[in-house]
Chain A
Amino acid sequence: ETGVTQTPRHLVMGMTNKKSLKCEQHLGHNAMYWYKQSAKKPLELMFVYSLEERVENNSVPSRFSPECPNSSHLFLHLHTLQPEDSALYLCASSQATGGDNEQFFGPGTRLTVL
């Protein structure tokens, strides 16, 4: 248990569906992240939030829409995805942004787009 939970753990969706991934951290951290990990590829940072404000968006397609209503919760809204979006989506949190802060990762959501 890292103190970061993600739901659902597994998700199968069609290309026309709309779904949301949820992340919750119980660590009192101020920064939260979404990563994508495709098969045999390195983790890709998608979004970074600090104190509920987005600070990084690494050119992620608009079919991925993040939401951070408070410092403990992070959502990733999915709309009109493509099969190549199938991947493990990981949420992480840290006390603050910056490379000297340990990131705590959740177990991930395994997404399959049909």
Chain B
Amino acid sequence: LAKTTQPISMDSYEGQEVNITCSHNNIATNDYITWYQQFPSQGPRFIIQGYKTKVTNEVASLFIPADRKSSTLSLPRVSLSDTAVYYCLVGDSWGSQGNLIFGKGTKLSVKP
């Protein structure tokens, strides 16, 4: 069972780049790494997903080292609206949801 570990909270200021690192030492060969964002009283929203190396989309980048035991979500130039909880998940592609577990996430607070 691939467990993830993230910092409980992080603070940043508007315009800064924020990097949130997630540890997943027991990641399996078939596991993908996915990040979700959640605002209070709303459902989580998909941000980005990767398997290895680097993935970039219009909102974030995901860096995954060769050993895949960790990953880093990078948010460029954050704004106040990026204040949310960010979850790192690992899960395989074999159809089982048994090991797709949301941890406590990282509460990001962006200040003016």
Interface on A for B, CB 8 Å cutoff? 2, 4, 33, 35, 41-45, 48, 50, 55-56, 88, 90-92, 96-100, 102-108, 110
Contact = CB atoms under 8 A, between A and B. Distances in A.
A104 to B, nearest CB: 8
Interface residues of B, number: 29
A108 B41 contact: yes
Which of B43, B87, B91 counts the most chain A CB atoms within 10 A?
A: B43
Interface of B: 31-32, 34, 36, 41-46, 49, 87, 89-105
B92 to A, nearest CB: 5
Interface of B is mostly: loop
A44 B36 CA distance: 15
Contacts of B32: 99-100
A107 B39 CA distance: 10
